[in-house]
Each structure stands twice: as structure tokens, then as C-alpha cells.
Structure 1
Amino acid sequence: MALSDPIADMLTRVRNAARSRHQTVDCRNSNVCRGIARVLRDEGYITRFDVIEDGRQGILRIELKYGTRGEQLIHLLKRESKPGCRVYRKVNELPRPLAGLGIAILTTPRGVLSDREARTENVGGELLCTVE
């Protein structure tokens, strides 16, 4: 079955797994999904991710991270730009989720970056999702 929005599928799987307190979640592998997982790891929302070869495109196994008392770190994971309605932002128009406590993930000419990295590199792009 063809998947029309693999990014939304990945975000939904991570959101559902975090709510159900799973340790790991498996998603389809792609360059953008790997980039999103890298940003989530660098910002401290997940522990790590691995690419598992299955003879096709591969599986992205994400290990979720929880707080010291078991509370979930990802409260809201929202897809902003959709295949039917793309959302682009300049560097000075990037959102600051939770007044800077959350992150926005965007794809730029320099790869998939968090909003902090994009401000540092002074580059805008397509706003993929926000994490709070």
C-alpha cells in the first residue's frame, strides 16, 4: 500500500508510542524521517535511533526517552506542513513553541534542522512539525 505522507505516519507512530509508554517504535526509513529522528535525538526527546535493513527501504527503530519519574517528554507532536498545504517560513518568522521550551523542525537547503539550528545558520525552509 502506498503511503501518501510518511512524515505524518512517523509522527503519529511516535506520538502513539509515547502515550502508551512503549520503549521503542518502528517507522519506515527515509532521509527526511532520519533527519527528524536526528533532531529529536539532538534535542533530547529520544534516546537513539537505528536503521535496520530489511531488503527494501529499511526500518527506522526509535528508542523513546522518558523523565526521571516516567513522565513523557513529548506532550504534543503536531504536523504543520502537509502535502496539500505546504508551510514555508523565513528565518525571522520561525515559531518558538512553548516560548522556546519546545522545538520546531524544518527542512532547509542545509538539511533537516531544528528552529535553533536554523536561526544559527540564518536559513528558513518548510516547517515540518512542532514538538512540545
Structure 2
Amino acid sequence: MSVSDPVADMLTKIRNAGLARHEKVDIPTSKLKLEIVKILKTEGYIKNFKKITQDGVNTIRIFLKYDEKQNPVIHGLERISKPGRRVYTGYKDMPRVYNGYGTLIVSTSLGVTTGKKAAEKKVGGEILCTVW
């Protein structure tokens, strides 16, 4: 099955697995998806992840994180830039997610990074998604 927007498919799988209280979720791997998952790990939205190979297919296994009441740590994932409508921003106009409580993931010329780090490096780029 071909997917027209693999990043949106990954975000939907993570969102649905969190709402269903799953321990882990497997997604097909790509370099962009791996960079997004690394940011989710460093920002504390997921427990851990690892790359696995099953029957010659590379996948990323993401271990979801929950609070003490078993509510998912990820309250929302939203894809901003879509294949039909790309959204770009400069470092001066970098939007904030929930007044700084959320995270903006941006694809810059220096790689995939958070909105805060991109603004510190004074580099803009394509807004991939927001996480809160």
C-alpha cells in the first residue's frame, strides 16, 4: 500500500497507539521519520525507540510514554506542512506551540530540529509538525 504522506501516517499511528494505551508501535523507517522520532525522545514525549529488521523490512519500534494515571504524555500531534501545501517560516517568525509548552519540529538546511534550536541558530525552514 503506497502512502502519499508517510510522516502524517507515522504521526497518526503514534497518536492512535497512545489513545489505545499501547505499549509500543511499529512504523516503516526513513531518515526523516528517524530524525523526528529522535526529537520526540530528546524532548521527553516517548520512552525510547529502536530500529529493528523483520523479514528484511526495516522498522522503527517506538515505546510510548504515559504518566502515573496512564494518560499518554503526547496530548496532540499535528502535521502542519503537507504535500499539497508546504509551510515555511523564517527564524524571526518561528511560531510557538501552546505558549512554549509544546514543540515545533522544523526541517532546516542544517537538518531536522526543534523550532527553538532553529531560532537560536538563526535558520528557518519547513514546519513539519507540532507536538504537545
The TM-score range, normalised by the shorter chain, is: over 0.9
Moved over 3 A (4+): none
Between the aligned partners of 1:24 and 1:30, the Cα distance in structure 2 is: 18
**How much does 1:117 deviate?**
1.5
Specify the SS of the correspondent of 1:67: coil
Deviations 1:34-82 (A, max 9, x none): 01100000000001111112324x1011011111222211111100000
Q: Secondary structure of 2:81's match?
A: coil
AA at the equivalent of 1:94 = M
Unpaired segments of 5 or more residues in structure 2? none
Matched with 1:21 is: 21
Q: Structure 2 CA distance, aligned partners of 1:28 and 1:75?
A: 23
Q: Which amino acid aligns with 1:24?
A: K
Q: Which residue of 2 aligns with 1:72?
A: 72
**How much is the aligned-residue C-alpha RMSD, in angstroms?**
1.0
Secondary structure, in 3 states, of the residue corresponding to 2:8? Answer: helix
The aligned length equals: 131
Match of 2:106 in 1: 106
- Aligned counterparts, 1:1-132, within 5 A: 1-54=1-54, 55-56=56-57, 58-132=58-132
Runs of at least 5 residues in structure 1 that lack an aligned partner in the other structure: none
Identity of aligned residues (%): 45
Quick one: which amino acid aligns to residue 50 of structure 1? K
Scaled by the length of structure 2, the TM-score of the pair is 0.95
